[in-house]
Chain A
């Protein structure tokens, strides 16, 4: 039999290893991002200053602290380009999430009503695209939406339009790309909520004289709400910071913040501005993220 001491040591070790990993590779990097966002760009390696000088002792700390300021934030907040990027990101992600809910709900609902024998198969069909490459799925739309692409060919052939419409390189294409890529994230939590729904509640509503639409509105919809909220957050939060979709499907005027950060880092090589953008993006997302955390923790710890 294990002594209490060795049990405790075992438990501590199990928690401590992943804990330490995440502190070092997740938490500490954020502190560094924050610290770099307060620095200035310089032509050196690493390309920001001031650097912390341990050997200079107290004097070094004082010089280090004096070199930090909120200049980058003032710059990002005063330049309308960045402000515009933030607003457009939230707007595009919000519109996409709304459309996702409108498409995802009927799909999840139909899946939950399908015969029991079909459900694993249907679930598999929703999950499978999630396993295939995100990049490839976005790329697939480039060929379809292009000026001489399949969609325009079809529209022309059916006489719906008389000349090709510009779809690729517009905000509409970005919304479409987000809806397409994130659909499984919306459907899965919704399906989980609808699948658990107790059928007898709907029967009770019907027995009490409620027409089907009323039963749906007063019983099904409220009970699906947690799934809807989880799905919406699961789509909205990463969509705000999305880079690949606006870069491949958007136009040059599709300024989303993830893309702006990328350009600032890779093209302008300004690490400190990129860091300030990242910190501000995190501030925009902190409320939805805390909400998501609570839902996630609650649903997992309740054991469903």
Chain B
């Protein structure tokens, strides 16, 4: 749009982003508050961070959460990519309507329903609840997000490249691996990241489907948060936010680098 920003537009941007970021900023600032009282500023201190390292239960929960997130994101990325290929490439197959309904529904489905239904499944098949039941649950939700991210890349993709590869005698699998996969790789990586953070973040699904010995970090945080605001929670939240922000920034830099190198490769002669 050519007209540029009016005063109202600038105000909307400033207020909108202030609304999005101020609460997080305040939370981070108060994690360095020396006072235990949340409302009183008692000077700068990092003691709440030091205390986190003494909290065994919290560290255990963080370790469980990272493991669940890693395994579930990886499996969800494979399943979600397959689902995306099926939806984007196979125009007609039996049960396609049901399949696409099952892929899109979990994106908006209230988590309490998903959590309850999966718990009832695990009880019905008599699966012991713990690490694996939480992981299976996260795979199911995250694969749908991956499918949507990858599918939106696949439908904008120039299919003549695949066809050229097949005309030159490549099998469909081979043309997928050597032509399609490198091109959609950024979308797959973004899907993995999304799946990973969804799993890190989840409270409701994990609460329903977990068992003894597999308490996740959000569950720990939640049980403490219910008792009120504490500087320790601010500190762990700040670490969490910093960790995710680093991941996202690294991913977007990697993406940018890939775009640049792609362009260079395209410009190179021969």
Contact = CB atoms under 8 A, between A and B. Distances in A.
Interface stretch (A53-61, A78-86, A147-155): A147-155
Interface string A122-155: 1011101101111111011111101011100100
A195 B156 CA distance: 17
Interface size class of B (residues with CB under 8 A): 35 or more
Given A33-B116, A139-B225, A296-B104, A14 B85 contact: yes
Nearest to B241: A132
A18 B82 contact: yes
B215 interface: no
Contacts of A217: none
Given A113-B9, A122-B13, A26 B105 contact: yes
Contacts of B109: 237-238, 241, 289
Interface in A259-282: 261-262, 265-266, 271, 274-275, 278, 281-282
B26 interface: yes
B136 interface: yes
A60 to B, nearest CB: 16
Contacts of A274: 116
Given A7-B172, A125-B20, A132-B244, A28 B121 contact: yes
A299 to B, nearest CB: 9
A106 B143 CA distance: 33
Given A14-B85, A180-B23, A135 B201 contact: yes
B66 interface: no
Contacts of A149: 38-39
A71 interface: no
B140 interface: yes
Interface stretch (A62-70, A221-229, A242-250): A242-250
B155 A303 contact: yes
Contact of A131 (B86, B87, B156, B248): B248
B79 A136 contact: no
Contacts of A197: 1
B169 interface: yes
A220 B73 CA distance: 39
B99 A22 contact: yes
Nearest to A129: B20
Contact of B203 (A103, A135, A304): A135
Contacts of A266: 207
A126 B148 CA distance: 19
Interface in B71-108: 79-80, 82-83, 85-88, 90, 93, 95, 98-108
A25 B26 contact: no
A150 B26 contact: yes
A133 B20 contact: no
Contacts of A126: 20
Interface centre among B13, B90, B172 (most CB of A within 10 A): B13
A244 B203 contact: yes
Contacts of A296: 104, 107, 148
Interface in B194-211: 194, 197, 200-201, 203-204, 207-208
A21 interface: yes
Contacts of A139: 27, 221, 225, 229, 233, 237
B156 to A, nearest CB: 6
B118 interface: yes
Interface of B: 1-6, 8-10, 12-13, 16-17, 19-21, 23-24, 26-27, 30, 38-39, 79-80, 82-83, 85-88, 90, 93, 95, 98-113, 116-118, 120-121, 123-124, 136-137, 139-140, 143, 147-148, 151-152, 155-156, 169, 171-173, 193-194, 197, 200-201, 203-204, 207-208, 218, 221-222, 225-226, 228-229, 233-234, 237, 240-241, 244-245, 247-248, 252
The 7 closest A-B pairs by CB, nearest first: A241-B110, A29-B117, A18-B83, A110-B9, A107-B16, A15-B86, A106-B12
